[in-house]
Chains A and B, each alone.
Chain A
């Protein structure tokens, strides 16, 4: 009976807000630093692995019927490496087209800073190019490192046609001075509100790049809003 009735009262939903922490509430001067590497993923752009592995498969098939083929195994390895290089190069070129001129963590950091400045809740918020040194370091109560581990375009709805949207998985870490203790950390999956068929992105590079920039901007705003929310009424 107890087991059966357990389904009536669902467990409380997971906490979705970061609890306020006193040190986060007390920081007034922030140095925002774009940090880390970003990996771009676009469906289709990295889909050529199957083609790239064909040399190995073909060689294995031949070796079944012609055992002396093992003598040419070293040659097959070299051919495979060449094919891998060509496809790797193609993948990189395709990804470069989407990402050219965009540094994800810098875009997110700029939007993050602008949102915090507009809130009027901090005495000073500045985006730096790298880790603060000298006066930049002395003038900051805290360093906010902004990371974009992955970004790109993702399927957001199945069916026909499948719908895609730009996305960015982002993270912000607030490290207070002088202890360098991380007092607030927030990860967020940010997804563009506009969803389009895959062909819209693959057929219009400008549209895809705009969507990617938009979602990075949005990610900066979201991270800033969550920091403001966690900080409370200061």
Chain B
């Protein structure tokens, strides 16, 4: 009886504190560096829709030790949308809910953590792939469609959740960095009228 009560209390604490097995993958604002995107005069940008096109949207991988799903704390589409918003905002653009000068829409084609066994450690490979469309909201035309992909590979212990998240964080960051340094995308943003 006493043990059961302790278990209930522990479960309640875990629920209240948000302790969960899901990965809190994200793109940290502190790491954003104003760059090429800031060379374009500030635009009012509507971000979205960001659509998760993956065939299995319920998970981002399988645990190497038991095959159970690896999940993210937030939907993958939200993670990607937030990353785009952070990058645009830190580069001086104003993100607006609707309208604006330009719309940045994205399809998430891949957001997955793979594992490959090895002696004593496991190799993790995180992949993020996006298709990004830039639309001139005033002119009503799509001015650019580009695909970006980021991959991160590292060895870690089989149950190293910190490594799982770092791998996915880095794969996402590499994807966004490719986007932020793409001269074609910067030119496209620059051609959109304000």
Contact = CB atoms under 8 A, between A and B. Distances in A.
Contact of A15 (B10, B28, B39, B114): B28
B125 interface: yes
Contacts of A10: 24, 165
Interface stretch (B52-60, B98-106, B134-142, B170-178): B170-178
Nearest to A157: B114
A20 interface: yes
B153 A154 contact: yes
B108 to A, nearest CB: 15
Contacts of A189: 152-154
B181 A158 contact: no
Interface in A1-38: 1, 4-5, 7-10, 12-17, 19-20
A233 B153 contact: no
Interface string B11-49: 001100111000010101011111110110000000000
B38 A233 contact: yes
A228 B28 contact: no
B181 A229 contact: yes
Given A4-B17, A154-B123, A189-B154, A13 B166 contact: yes
| Chain A interface category by residue count | 35 or more
Interface in A179-203: 189-191, 193
A4 B26 contact: no
Contact of A16 (B24, B118, B173, B180): B173
B16 to A, nearest CB: 8
A13 B28 CA distance: 7
B33 A230 contact: yes
Given A158-B117, A228-B181, 20 more contacts: A1-B13, A4-B13, A4-B14, A4-B19, A7-B17, A13-B26, A15-B31, A16-B28, A17-B173, A121-B36, A155-B123, A158-B115, A163-B114, A190-B151, A193-B151, A222-B178, A229-B180, A230-B33, A231-B35, A233-B91
B125 A191 contact: yes
A8 B19 contact: yes
A15 B30 contact: yes
18 contacts: A7-B14, A13-B166, A15-B30, A16-B28, A17-B33, A119-B181, A119-B183, A155-B123, A156-B123, A190-B151, A191-B153, A193-B129, A222-B178, A225-B178, A228-B35, A232-B33, A233-B34, A233-B36
Given A20-B33, A154-B153, A156-B153, A14 B177 contact: no
Nearest to A188: B174
Contacts of B32: 17
A51 interface: no
Nearest to A15: B31
Nearest to A4: B13
A163 B115 CA distance: 10
Interface string A156-174: 1110001100010000000
A74 interface: no
